[in-house]
Amino acid sequence: MAAKARKTTFGVLVGNRGFFPDELAREGREIVIRRLGELGYGAVVLGPRDTKFGCVETWEDAKKCAELFRKHRDNLDGIIVTLPNFGDERGIADTLKLAGLEAPVLVHAWQDDATKMTLAHRRDSFCGKMSACNNLRQYGIRYSLTQRHTVNPDTRAFAEDIHWFASVCRVVRGLRNCRIGALGARPAAFNTVRFSEKLLQASGISVETLDLSEVFGRAGRLSEREPKVKRRLEAIKGYTKTGGVPSEALVKMAKLAVVVHDWMNTCELDAIAVQCWTSMEEFFGVVPCTVMSMLSDQLMSSACETDIAGTVSMHVLALASGSPSFLLDWNNNYGDEPDKCVCFHCSNLPKSCFEDTKMDFQDIIAGTVGKENTYGTIQGRIKKGPMTFCRVSTFDTEGSIAGYVGEGEFTNDPLKTFGGFGVARVPGMQELLQLICREGFEHHVAANHSQVARAVHEALTNYLDWHVHLHPG
C-alpha cells in the first residue's frame, strides 16, 4: 500500500576551493540549509566540525561526505551540489562516486555580484559549475541543472528549481521500487493494453497478479455484518451521492473494497489496474469504479481495463505532483477547434478531479449485462484547471519503454454527455495526435490537475533511460 507522505530530504554537498574566498563557502552553506528548511525540505550535510566550514574540497572531505550520505541512504531522495564559489570539481565527483547512491543530483551555482568582483568577493561559480559537470560526466554520474546557469538561493527562481527537483526525486524514488497490482486478466478485446512485465521489472517496477475468481471468492465469504465491511460501506456513502443505487449493490462494492484493500496491504502495492468489464458485472454484479475512484483519490492510482502501463503513467503524475491522477481516453474532437478535444471515461475518476459527482449505473455496458449489474460508476465533469498528461508504454520488439508528457488545461467549454468527461486544450494538439498515432501509443492517457511535465520528463529520460517526448518538442 502506498506509504504515508514523508518530508523530501536532500543530501547537500557544499563545494569549496582554497584559493577562492572561504567566507563565501561558509556563508553559502548556512544560507542554503536555511532556505531548504523554509521551503519545507530536510537536509543532510556535513558540519563545521567534520570538515572546514562543513564543505567538501579534499579527498578526505569527500570520504567523510560520502560516508554521511551512505549512512542516511534510506532517507535521501536526491543530492544538491551547491557552489558558493568555484568549488573543487574532483571533491564533488569523488563524493558522489564513493557514496554510490544512484539518486538524482542537482548542480547549483551562485550568482556573482557585478559590483563585487575583487579577489575577496568573486565567486566564479559560473565557471566552476562547468568544471563540476564536466567531472560528473567523466565519472558517469547523472545530474540535473537549474533553469538559469546561476541563481541566488533567496529568489523565487531558486524555490521553483528546488520544487521541480523534488518532483524529479519523488518520481525516481517512487518507480525504482514500485509494486503494481494486476487484478484480473486483460479484457479480450483490448490488445492496446498489452505490456511487458520484464521491461518494467528492469526499471524496478514489479507486477503482482490476482485472478478475479479469487476476488469473487473472498468477497463471497464476507458477511455484510462484519465491521470492516460496514466501515467500507459508510466510506462509500460518504464519498459521493448514492441516491437511487440499490443497497445490495452498495454492499457488494463494500465487500470488493475490503478484498482489494486487504490484497494491496498484504502485497504492499502502490497502485493497481483492474479488469473492469465484463466478468466483474456478469459474475459479481457491480462495476468496480467507485472502489477504484476512492483508491486514486488517496494517491493509490487505479487504472481500468487492466492497463498496467496506464497505471504506471498515473503513478508517475501522482508522485510528481502529490495529487490524484486519473486515466482518460483521448476520445472526441471538440467541434472544429484543433487544440481542443473531449476527454472521457465511464468512469472511475477520483472525486477530487470533478466539479461534482454522483454514483450511477454504467451506461455503455448496461445493455449487455443488465442495468442492475452495473451500478458503481462515478459520473461528473472534470473541473477547470491546469493539466499535465502522460503516457508510457512498453515496446517489446524494441526492448524499450517510451512515452510522452506535456501540459495543457481543462476548460469549461459547453459539453453535455455521460460518464466522467471534460474538454481539454493542448497547444499543438494536432502534432501530439500525429505523434500518438505514428509511434503507436494507446488511446488511454493519464492526467492530473498540475503542471509537472518538465519534472516528469527529466526523471524518466535522465534517470530511468526511458524514451519520453516532451510536448511540444
Q: Identify which of 79, 92, 165, 164 has the alpha carbon closest to the alpha carbon of residue 128.
A: 92
CATH fold label, 9-175: Rossmann fold (3.40.50)
Does residue 139 have a pLDDT over 50? Answer: yes
Task: Locate the domains of the chain by residue range.
Answer: 9-175, 177-471
pLDDT digits (tens, 9 = 90+) for 383-413: 999 999 999 999 999 999 999 999 999 999 9
Is 448 strand, coil or helix? strand
Residue with cell 468527461: 421
Peptide bond into 153 cis (omega under 30): no
User: Using CA atoms, how far apart are residues 193 and 313, in angstroms rounded to an integer?
Assistant: 13
Does residue 297 have a pLDDT over 90? Answer: yes
Q: Which carries the bigger pLDDT value, residue 332 or residue 190?
A: 332
Is 383 strand, coil or helix? coil
CA angle, 470 then 449 then 288, to 5°: 105
Mean pLDDT, the chain, rounded, equals: 96
* List of residues 6+ apart from 337 with CB closer than 8 A: none
Q: Decide: residue 470, CB within 10 A, 0-12 exposed, 13-18 middle, 19+ buried.
A: middle
CB of 43 within 8 A of CB of 36? yes
Q: State how far Cα 394 lies from the chain centre.
A: 17
User: Using CA atoms, how far apart are residues 97 and 21, in angstroms rounded to an integer?
Assistant: 26
Q: Which helix (H) or strand (E) holds 469?
A: strand 467-471
Does residue 117 have a pLDDT over 90? Answer: no
* List of residues 6+ apart from 335 with CB closer than 8 A: none
End-to-end CA distance of the chain: 36
Backbone torsions φ then ψ of 277, nearest 5 degrees: -155, 155
Share of the chain above pLDDT 70, in %: 98
Does residue 4 have a pLDDT over 90? Answer: no
User: Using CA atoms, how far apart are residues 189 and 166, in angstroms rounded to an integer?
Assistant: 40
Pull the grid cell for residue 202.
528492469
pTM here?
Answer: 0.96
CATH classification of 177-471, choosing from 3.40.275.10, 3.30.70.20, 3.40.640.10, 3.90.930.12? 3.40.275.10
pLDDT digits (tens, 9 = 90+) for 183-199: 999 988 889 999 999 99
The counts of H helices and E strands in the chain are 15, 18
What's residue 114's pLDDT? 82
As a whole number, mean pLDDT of residues 114-127 equals 81
pLDDT digits (tens, 9 = 90+) for 338-348: 999 999 999 99
Query: Using the 8-state DSSP alphabet, how is residue 362 labeled?
Result: -
CA distances from 372 to 255, 298, 346, 357 (A): 17, 28, 16, 20
What's residue 335's pLDDT? 97
CB of 410 within 8 A of CB of 449? yes
Does the CA dihedral 427-429-435-440 come out positive or negative? positive
Type of residue numbered 413: D
